């Protein structure tokens, strides 16, 4: 298996870390501690739980859509370091998230971002031709479905609230959460 250490971006990142450490702005220990804190609890299971709650509880859905931070806090994720904004998919409106400037992403609720989310191709093409990009993910939307692309250029982080799949009326909240995928939360898949 190829390690991340082999990638050119890993060498660039390490150089940047060494410059910051040399300038006295951080240390290896501080970086390790930050990454551990960031990643140990980060998982798409968190976002999935919020989605399942929104599907089953109209009051929670309203809260999540109007105040993402409050919605996250109610599910036990009160320590977000960003302002969460949740955008709902419907039968006629589809949302997809991107960060054209870097790779901003709600890591704590979606887990570590996939490699393609950080790629130049995804970042540059999603704002330009989302229908073609989504088709390459196997998501062929009807021509009359409106697409909104959310470019994460501020301290806000976006998460898609997928539409609830048909035929799931009998499922309990935990079973519903198990249907929610990371790509569904990004908007590159339907459920």
Partner 1 sequence: MSFEAGARVRVKARDPDHHTRVPRYVRGHTGVVLTAIDRWPVPDDCARGIDPPREETCYAVRFSAADLWGSGDHAVTVDLWESYLDRA
Residues annotated as part of the active site? 99, 102-104
Residue 150 interacts with partner 1 (CB under 8 A)?
A: yes
Minimum CB distance to partner 1, residue 71 (Å): 15
Instruction: Name which position in 78, 83, 115, 138 contacts partner 1 (CB under 8 A).
Output: 83
Measured from the CB atom, the residue of 48 and 106 that comes closer to partner 1 is: 106
Tell me how far the alpha carbon of residue 89 is from its chain's centroid.
14
Instruction: Name which position in 45, 73, 147, 189 contacts partner 1 (CB under 8 A).
Output: 147
Selected range binding partner 1 among 17-25, 48-56, 73-81, 153-161, rule: CB under 8 A:
153-161
Report in angstroms the alpha-carbon separations of 123 from 67, 82, 93, 108. Answer: 26, 20, 21, 21
14-73 residues near partner 1, rule: CB under 8 A: none
- Rounded CA-CA distance 17/112 in Å is 20
Minimum CB distance to partner 1, residue 162 (Å): 18
First vs last Cα of the chain: how many Å apart? 31
- Rounded CA-CA distance 59/51 in Å is 13
Instruction: Name which position in 13, 26, 90, 153 contacts partner 1 (CB under 8 A).
Output: 153
Phi-psi map region of 119: left, alpha, beta (phi>0 left; psi -120 to 50 alpha): beta
Q: What angle do CA 148, 123, 36 make, to 5 degrees?
A: 105
Minimum CB distance to partner 1, residue 87 (Å): 9
β-bridge pairing 93-98 and 146-151: parallel
86-145 residues near partner 1, rule: CB under 8 A: 100-101, 127-131
Decide if 107 contacts 152 (C-beta within 8 A).
no
Minimum CB distance to partner 1, residue 58 (Å): 21
Residues binding partner 1: number (CB under 8 A): 20
Q: Under the rule (CB under 8 A), what is the footprint of partner 1?
A: 83, 85, 100-101, 127-131, 146-156
């Amino acid at each position: 298996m190829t390690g991340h250490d082999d990638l050119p971006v890993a060498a660039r990142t390490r150089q940047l870390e060494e410059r910051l450490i040399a300038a006295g702005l951080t240390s290896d220990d501080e970086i390790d501690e930050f990454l551990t804190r960031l990643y140990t609890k980060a998982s798409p299971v968190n976002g999935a739980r919020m989605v399942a709650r929104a599907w089953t509880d109209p009051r929670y859905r309203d809260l999540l859509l109007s105040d993402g931070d409050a919605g996250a806090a109610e599910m036990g994720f009160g320590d977000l370091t960003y302002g969460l904004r949740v955008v709902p998919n419907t039968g006629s409106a589809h949302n997809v998230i991107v960060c054209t400037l870097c790779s901003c992403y709600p890591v704590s609720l979606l887990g570590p971002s996939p490699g393609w989310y950080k790629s130049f191709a995804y970042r540059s093409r999603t704002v330009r031709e989302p229908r073609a990009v989504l088709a390459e993910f196997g998501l062929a939307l009807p021509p009359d479905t409106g697409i909104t692309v959310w470019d994460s250029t501020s301290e806000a982080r976006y998460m898609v609230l997928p539409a609830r799949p048909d035929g799931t009326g009998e499922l309990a909240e935990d079973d519903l959460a198990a249907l929610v995928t990371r790509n569904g939360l990004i908007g590159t898949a339907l459920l």
